[in-house]
Amino acid sequence: MEIKFTTGPSPLGSVLVAATAKGVCAVSLRESDEGTEEYLRARFPKAELARDDVALKRALDTVRERIAGRKLDSALELDLQGTDFQREVWNQLLAIPAGSTRSYLDVAQAINRPKATRAVAQACGANPVAVVVPCHRVVMSDGSIGGYSGLPGVKKALLVVEGGWVPDRS
């Protein structure tokens, strides 16, 4: 399998976008571009990697627009690689509209597995295409923001820019 990738600056740090011939397979917000290829090799150990800034310009621009709070529901072709359960969760996340949130329990119930809230949280954490599959729109049942496997503060920043989170002003 060949994976092309590119990186670029965004309002929340450096963003990596990688794609197979089928579609985007990885999006990651990072502190810098350093270690990009190592990250991809760890995630896709059998893939042939090639940087291609031209071929992935549109995908990178789309991701950056989403990060900036614009074009939040613009479509990208995806190549989601994960278990059947993970893909089921990720497909449910794609149905959460921008500016809205769901709890891990809501997602578990939507896939008819109401006792699988921890597994849903793990699937969110394993999401290979952050921002595009909006795992940041999933919060705790008590309304607190919960965890995010990316850079600190990114989940809250994404929710704020989408209008799905009002910061505590106290």
List active site positions.
135
Give the integer Cα–Cα distance in Å for 7 and 19: 12
Distance between terminal CA atoms of the chain?
A: 51
| Nearest of 114, 105, 154, 112 to residue 134 by alpha carbon | 154
How far is CA 166 from its chain centroid?
A: 21
* Non-local CB neighbours of 162 within 8 Å, separated by 6+ positions: 69, 72, 98, 99, 137
> In whole angstroms, how far apart are CA 30 and each of 98, 102, 151?
22, 25, 7
Output the furthest CA–CA distance in the chain (Å, rounded).
51
| Nearest of 22, 55, 16 to residue 36 by alpha carbon | 16
Q: Which residue has the tokens 């359960």?
A: 85
